[in-house]
Structure 1
Amino acid sequence: MNNQLQDLFAFLAVVRAGGFRDGARASGTSASSLSEAVRRLESRLGVRLLHRTTRSVTPTEAGARLAERLLPALGEVEAALDIVNSFRDRPTGTLRLNVPASVARLTLPPIITPFLATYPEIKLEVIVEDSFVDVLAAGCDAGIRYDERLEQDMIAIPIGPRRQRFATAAAPAYLDAHGRPAHPRELLQHACLRGQFNSGSIPPWEFECDGEVIRVDPDGPLLVRLGAGVDLKVDAAVSGLGIVHLFEEWLQPHLDSGALEPILQPWWQTFSGPYLYYPGRRHLPAPLRAFVDFVRSLA
């Protein structure tokens, strides 16, 4: 690959990762080599492409326009080069997945260990974020989301459990002190531990029984960012701070131990499990093709 093309790939790696250090980690090179490549590119083009500060690296207007045009073009170059992978005995390369915290916690653990044992030359990079993203623009090969948050024009295949439930629970000490709600609307009189998306929206708690769907928006003493803050919410519920509403699998160890007591069980809502989704292009990168085939073999 000639130097000009290498410099373009280096620039795109920095933009995708939002910095030289993370870009170097994702591309398997050094931050100094990426920095030098971007400087060469800027010198060759005669325009600044990146704003650099001690805290962040962001594209200039010219850099953003260039990255926008480069993404599909260099994606085709990467796909063309990856065709050689099909001639190897074992696929190699990096597979980048964008997943929500619930999938990282509940769905991937029993899958990634046997997958990477089967394909030891593949490196798996998992980006965890609960917001809706364009996986290609985010520099990822594929994403995992639930059906209501799937991107359009993507191929989607089931991954992990096909049916899941949200469970509602609290510490026995909290329920002894404040009572056990018998209907979802009674949660409005309780201390409820809530979650918030990165966008700032706070999803309501949804319940269903005999075809009736009820959404409630209770208040409480703790609000955490969904994803990284979920474990704090669970720990707070175990300590008796209030009521938690979360994936049943996430709460199951505490339900089994008795640290949390289930409530409103007839109202626990069941929904379909997550999907692995990826662009419907003819050629898939070898690591992604291997992962798709592996997931399908588990069905």
Structure 2
Amino acid sequence: MESIRKKVERWSAILFPPQEIFSRKWSFAQQGGMFILLGAVFYGIGLWVPANGFIAFDWVHFFSQGRIPPFYPPWTVFLAKRLTWPLFFAISMAGISLSIIKRSTHIVSSIAALVSLPVVWTMFLGQLDSLVVLGLLGLPWLVPLVLIKPQVGLFALGAKKSYVLAGIIWIAISIVIWGLWPAKMFAVNVYKEGRYAQDIAIGLAGIIVTLPMFWFSRGDMDMLMISGAFVTPYLIPYNMLPFTPAIARLKPIPALIACLLSWLPFSSNWLGDKGWWLGWLFVVWLWFCLAVTRYGFPNKQLFNKYPKPTRP
């Protein structure tokens, strides 16, 4: 009879197959050095970018003042109060840029990722989704940053056993410190004042799509986050930022298409509220392109990056 240990190892190999999503293999020191360099550059830019309420509205009126909505985890206020606008801009853009560079297969693909709607809109508002991207770079150690905005970042933890364990440990520690905050957070009715037109979440109904996507996304944090978008209870296009750097994994033509599709929600200016829902074309296209890269299709030469990722 097969031992319990062997069964665990077998299922672990099935659920967490090794998948390489980065084109560049950097040591901790190299990644840290690049982050510091990028941070210094963007800190200088942040000194010249005015956080005047038109730019960085959410940062100016909410986060910088410690006015954190109740559906954020309790450590958010501790972090936000200790960041100035230039520092927030610096670490946010450094994290986003580093995530793109590590995945990049072509400079065109990198630029397409950098100028996509989730990146531009997040930084224009001064939203905290940018810190989730930084947290993803530092997993499992930076799991608290990933869980600041868990709409899609939470699903990245399913890529590796160490990420799952880190998430469980941090949630346990945070409950000891702040009490049963998850119950309080989920008790908040985000639709009390009505549903925002920009909120294109499908909710639990999307589980029909999400479950098979999870299976084909195993081991790939980008694909897992995209799959999770179909079932998350609250989703505005800038919440897609954590998986947007995956555009850089594509070859130029698919990457440019992904970038253009990401801007379709702004068609609501002409089409009305229904235009926001065109944002799902970006989500579907990006997951499809990554699936083609991973598993191969007849026209795979158009999509595949190199080196080819390890098959599960």
TM interval, shorter chain, is under 0.3
TM normalised by structure 2 equals 0.25
TM normalised by structure 1 equals 0.26
State the structure with more CA Rg.
Answer: 1
Judging by fraction of residues, say which structure has more strand. Answer: 1
Judging by fraction of residues, say which structure has more helix. Answer: 2
